[in-house]
Structure 1
Amino acid sequence: MAGVDRLSDLPEPILIHILSMLPHAKQVVQTCILSKQWRFLWKSVPVSLDFEFSDSDNVKDTLDFMASTNRELNYWRYCDKIRKFRVCLFNYRNHYVKDVDLWIHFATKLANVESFAIEFQCVDDTYEFPQFAFRNASLRNLVLRHLELNPSGSVNWSSLVSLSIGHLNLTESVIEKVLSGCPNLERLKLHHFWGIYRLEISSTKLRKLIIKDYYNLYDDLWLEILAPFIQTLELLGQCSDVRVSRKTVPSLVTAVLHLDRLNFYFDEEDDDEVDPTLEKQYSNMKELLHSVAHVENLQLSSWCIECLSILELKGWQPPPSSRKFLKLNAALEQLDFPGICSFLQSSSSLKTLVIDWNDHKPRHLWSTYTNEDEHNRRFETHNFDCSLLHLKTIKIVNFDGPLYGNKSVMPFVKYLLKNATVLEKLIFAAKYKGSDEPQDYVKMAQEFQCFPRSSPYSSVVFSY
């Protein structure tokens, strides 16, 4: 076979498929130079273009970046298929408008890309999304950041399945126009936004809604969500003024509550005075947990977990739920146990419990209600016993640090083994730093086997 170029003898569709696996569009062109037979193949290779300039606010550097981007796009206009096109600019100013218009025209009119993202990290001036781009039949995924949306007519994004817009002032008329022009939309993400107080989604195809950092401008108003067909709802960051109810999201299957505490002011010299904004957040948390009691899958952040124990201390009992899967995203502390145990008591249908130890955010608020010693004594004496009649799997993942003598793990593991009557597996997936901790895990794995358990079929599995 000496001297035979078998690679070039491959059928052209296979060569194009091989070239499409290269990670960068430039590498596709560079590779096509290797053979005269390949020199025009790059035009037929579906590519992804990504231009990012996000580390400088220098005007000259920005202009150089835009000029370079425009030169490259001049060559790529001959490409048959550009799957993805993304441009990220550090800052936008009014005299960049023609260049940005050119990028959007290239994506929506010339290249007809399937996935397009135009993002500004910050803005000195406001860029208005051009009217011609509100009508496009090829876009399937669209990301807009720090832009103004103001469609003068109807919107027609007939193929769009995923839309993410953020860092902007929305109006209800604009969001209504956008949603009505996306009949096949399946996923909607709104982040870092303000200006609307009612989000109504009537589409039967839109099944996933993500809300991140909703900024409420008025204390007596909130964002009400009416979405009878969505199945997944994610509330991320600062969303304490977002309202849902079982009636407004009756089809909800999965709720992800990764909420953060809003900033509040607290006088450390006066332990009796708690900011009323914080009390409002506790009240909103109770309403939210009532609203998602019917979902099958629930995830909670460390802030939500901290609220659970504070609410339990105040005498609040979680509503009965039908959840089957619960994920707690926090490195648990003893102060979290009462709230979690009370929450588990209301989760009689729970089958799977996952605790992700990655989040190590400290619990600062407990000192405003009780000291740690008093709280621990209360946990030891209070009756949190319950029968977890359906809990079969418990996973503790991403645990780091030594286990021996750990006050945050051992009592909770004992509690779970004692109350999970049909438990099959407790899986402990740990990560470690240093050479001493694996031996520590081996020792604790043996001790775990000696804990009393109510299920005769349960096993404790260690992974590290």
Structure 2
Amino acid sequence: MRGEEEEEEERLSNLPEPILHHIFSDLPMKEVLRSTCLLSKKWRYFWATVPYLHFDIHEQSRFPPLPDYNHHGTSPVDHVIYGRHRWTTSSLIRFFKLELPDETFGDSIRVVRLKCHRLPYYLPDAMLSAPNLRTLEVDNLVLPFPGNEDSRREIVISCPLLETLVLKDCRYDSLDVIKLSTYGLKKLEIVTTKYAFRDECTFEINTPNLSSFVYQAVNISLDCDFGVFAGLVKASVLFQDSFLFEKLLDATEDLNSQLLEWIKDLDAMKILEGLQRVESLCLEKIQCFERFPNTLGDLLASYGKLKKLELSMLLGNNTCSILWLTTLLRSCSLLESFVLKLFKTFDIEESEDKVEPVLPLPYTLNHLKYVTIETGVEELNDEFEFLQSLLNNSPNLERMAVVGCAVNQERVPEFRDKLMALFQQFPNVQVSLQFY
């Protein structure tokens, strides 16, 4: 038996290092240390080369001893970090407290992903200018300013090879400016959907090679010239303001002009004015344009390359019509793919003076091939008329998918039968129906 065990250990020890790295990539560091003790002596320091680090602060007391390292007075995490032969090139680190010295962000680091729970974190200068960093993702952090109160409160991200930057649900209360000066940046996401902020923060963006941009934020202004983004092909913009929706519900004809000026002054609108070159555009929570369909339509008419459009909007139970979207689509003559997501989440009383939008003159979407509609099935009059309008005005339509969410499952057969009767009039269109 002993001979067989030694043979198995020798077989494992003879595996190439990249294969061993892959085998241990999903294991916590505690298990990596314990497992490598079973290998031959030449793998005694294997733990110091693995490109993935997994830690759990609750398991530190159970760490096996590291070769030639004394744990007394310091944590196993610190010993692993400082005892490594190289820094990690692909890191998945979880559930531990750690101060990363500047030395850890050397030439070998490629990916940094930091996710916390509303904890303040000082991004070290070495991270913000790491020479070979390709991906930086920061999630749910409070980014304080490490300087004194008299200076301009700003941080500068200037990693020369950075390609992807994601800042999600972070707080920038103590910052005035975040400068992005990364020539090779291709993907930028600024998302703050969960929290309101005390102060505004401005992003100064100098990234001429940007190809994908996501802006879903409040109290964040952008200082950049989108005209220099010749390669920008994909963008997503969120009109994130519940107060705006409340103002729309209370708006009267006397307030319409004031409301329109307020909409035009939104940061999201200013951003849209600079995205005319994109081929794919996603706009979320666009119900603010229902009263002013031409405002958004005239803007999209300047998008000379737009081929894919995704829209999402909140609908009240009885008040909002989606027929005005036909006016919007008329502006997108080159559109090939269209996605519409409708969310009915507000209980709103019907307005007595509501005026139905006037349907546009006949139009043709010659290039439209693919349509996806996601909606509820409780109210189907507006949705049905809109689908019928799309089918009638899209002669080259190839595929249409309808995804329905039903609170009352008894309405599903009625909705399905009504749709199938409509689609039978268009036999060349491939239809997909899904209800849940």
- When normalised by structure 1's length, the TM-score is 0.66
Conserved? CA contact 2:297–2:331, under 8 Å: no
Provide the rounded CA distance (Å) in 2 between the counterparts of 1:184 and 1:20.
29
> Letter of the aligned partner of 1:69 in structure 2?
Q
Q: Which amino acid aligns with 1:201?
A: S
Number of residue pairs matched by the alignment: 400
Q: Is 1:345 aligned with 2:330?
A: yes
Contact 2:180–2:206 (CA under 8 A) maintained in structure 1: yes
Cα distance in 2 between the residues matched to 1:130 and 1:412: 55
Contact 1:396 1:429 in 2 (8 A): yes
Structure 1 segment 203-218 matched on structure 2, within 5 A: 203=183, 205-213=184-192, 215=197, 217=199
- Which residue number corresponds to residue 211 of structure 2? 231
What letter is aligned with 1:308?
F
Asked if residue 312 in structure 1 is aligned to residue 287 in structure 2, the reply is no
Distance in 1 separating the partners of 2:324 and 2:199:
31
Deviation at 1:289, TM superposition (A): 2.2
State the Cα distance separating 1:332 from its structure 2 match: 5.8
Note the C-alpha offset of 1:282: 4.2
| Equivalent in the alignment of 2:389 | 415
Matches within 5 A, 1:87-126: 103=77, 106-107=80-81, 110=84, 112-116=87-91
Greater mean alpha carbon deviation, residues 258-267 or residues 192-201: 258-267
> Could you say what secondary structure the match of 2:136 adopts?
strand
Residue type of the alignment partner of 2:136 = L
Q: Give, in whole Å, the separation in 1 of the partners of 2:277 and 2:248.
A: 39
Q: Which of 19, 23, 36 lines up with 1:19 in the alignment? A: 23
> 1:163 Cα deviation (Å)?
1.3
- Percent sequence identity over aligned pairs: 17
Map 1:43-442 → 2, pairs under 5 A: 43=46, 46=50, 48-51=52-55, 65=58, 68-69=59-60, 72=63, 75=66, 103=77, 106-107=80-81, 110=84, 112-116=87-91, 132-133=102-103, 135-144=105-114, 146-149=120-123, 151=125, 157-165=130-138, 166-169=141-144, 175-176=155-156, 178-179=157-158, 182-190=159-167, 191-194=170-173, 195-197=175-177, 199-203=179-183, 205-213=184-192, 215=197, 217=199, 222-238=202-218, 241-242=221-222, 244-261=224-241, 280-284=262-266, 285-301=268-284, 303=285, 305-312=286-293, 317-320=298-301, 321=303, 322-330=305-313, 335=320, 337-356=322-341, 359-362=343-346, 372=351, 374-375=353-354, 378-379=356-357, 381-383=358-360, 385-397=362-374, 399=375, 401-402=376-377, 406-430=380-404, 436=410, 439-440=413-414, 442=416
Residues 373 and 240 of structure 1, relative CA distance in 2, 3 Å threshold: farther
- Deviation track 1:190-209 (CA, whole Å, cap 9, x = no partner) reads 34325344745351x21011
Q: Is the 8 A contact 2:155 2:178 kept in 1?
A: no
The runs of 5 or more residues in structure 1 that have no matched partner are 54-64, 79-97, 122-126
| Aligned-CA RMSD value | 4.9
Residue 184 of structure 1: how far off its partner (Å): 1.4
> CA, structure 1 residues 107+266, in 2 after alignment: closer, same or farther (shift >3 Å)?
same
**3-state SS of paired residue (1:335):** coil
Distance 2:245 2:344 in 1: 22
**TM-score w.r.t. length of structure 2:** 0.70
Alignment CA distance shift 1:217-1:443 (3 Å): same
Q: Tell me the CA shift for residue 411 of structure 1.
A: 1.7
Separation of aligned partners in 2, 1:325 and 1:137: 39
Letter in 1 for 2:63: E
Q: Which runs of 5+ in 2 are unaligned?
A: none
- Deviation, structure 1 residue 141: 1.6
Q: Tell me by how many angstroms 1:260 deviates.
A: 1.5
